[in-house]
Structure 1
Amino acid sequence: MIEELLLYFFVEFLFGIIFYWPGWLMLRILSAGHYPPVQTKQHNRTAVAFFAIAVFIVAVVTFINIQVN
């Protein structure tokens, strides 16, 4: 029970705070301000966070690949 609560808090913290805002900024720049909409309109917050995670993973893999070569 406590483990599930801690896991839920950890995931919500990661997706809701740490990865959502960088993803929001990146998507706003890439879509020229069209997506995601302003906070008052409903949108998929998880997709925005996953976009930031994907960009982070690609950046880390690229950095490691450049350092190896």
Structure 2
Amino acid sequence: MPLIQTQDKSAAIQLPANYEKPINAVAPEQVNAALKKYIDYTKRAIIKAGDFEKAARFFVGSGSKN
């Protein structure tokens, strides 16, 4: 079974072997329409937590701009 986990491997989710088929069946336009319908971005909250110095060291040289 595929495995999704956090960067530090502290949490993992087991997914069924066929989870990709229904995901791939959805067009990007359908996803965007659902987001616009159900998500109000004016009411969002961004929460950052953790060791930001460690995270910065992780991204150095990875090509990421985060």
| TM-score range relative to shorter protein | under 0.3
* CA radius of gyration, larger in: 2
Normalised TM-score (structure 1): 0.22
- Structure of greater relative contact order (alpha carbons < 8 Å, 6+ residues apart): 1
More helix by share: 1
Q: TM-score, normalised by structure 2?
A: 0.23
Higher share in strand? 2
